Amino acid sequence: MDETDLVSRSQRGDLASFNQLVEVYQAQVYNLALRMLSGIAEAQDVTQETFIAAFHAIKSFRGGDLRVWLLRIAANRCRDELRKRRRRPTASLDAILLDPQAPAFGSPEPGPENHVLRDELAQCINRGLASIPEDQRLAVILSDVQGLSYEEIAGVMNTSLGTVKSRISRGRAHLRSYLMAQGELLPGQYRHD
């Protein structure tokens, strides 16, 4: 059954069909939430809430890109969570655990040393992402981590292409400054000594 059929059935209240869509998109929604919120428990909650809200609102989905629509709901939920967190600050950056089965990061060679380096680097990047303003972070994650086009990002963020371009640009510049300041963590090819 293709996506359009699954959406139509979901719009008629078929939960089983909707859950097939959940299987397709849950990793992407979860990763967006994880990068935005930097906490596993919050990311899981937001991902679950996103799909529950999406099932309730799917009747209002008028076609188009389902991934963009789901990521928009997830982005709004992340903003709500960050707003709540500002009222009740709880640091959970260090709670991030990376998938040990994930492909090598930072270096093409596998091995325990590279694994440690990969984890440290990933933590460093996550800290860098957490240090940049919320809208810029969302734009950078959607662009460089999730691989969305500028047009898709504009759809997720409900804003203009010019704003998307500017947020990505400023977000990358912030992150670049942060990573350069953490020079010793970066793999050799990324360092300027």
Chain residues that interact with another protein, rule: CB under 8 A:
15, 18-19, 22-23, 26-27, 29-31, 34-35, 40, 44, 47-48, 50-53, 55-57, 60, 72-73, 76, 80, 98-99, 101-103, 105-106, 118, 121-122, 125, 140-141, 143-145, 147, 150, 165, 168-169, 172-173, 175-176, 179-180, 186, 189-190, 192
Minimum distance, C-beta of residue 155 to another protein, in the bound complex (Å): 13
Minimum distance, C-beta of residue 48 to another protein, in the bound complex (Å): 5
Cβ closer to another protein: 73 or 157?
A: 73
Q: What does the alpha-carbon distance between residue 89 and residue 106 come to, in Å, rounded to a whole number?
A: 31
Minimum distance, C-beta of residue 160 to another protein, in the bound complex (Å): 14
- Sequence-distant (≥ 6) Cβ neighbours of residue 140 within 8 angstroms: 129, 132, 167, 168, 171, 172, 175
Chain CA centroid to CA 132, Å: 14
Cβ closer to another protein: 48 or 159?
A: 48
Minimum distance, C-beta of residue 146 to another protein, in the bound complex (Å): 9
Contact 68, 164 (CB under 8 A): no
Q: What does the alpha-carbon distance between residue 50 and residue 33 come to, in Å, rounded to a whole number?
A: 10
End-to-end CA distance of the chain: 55
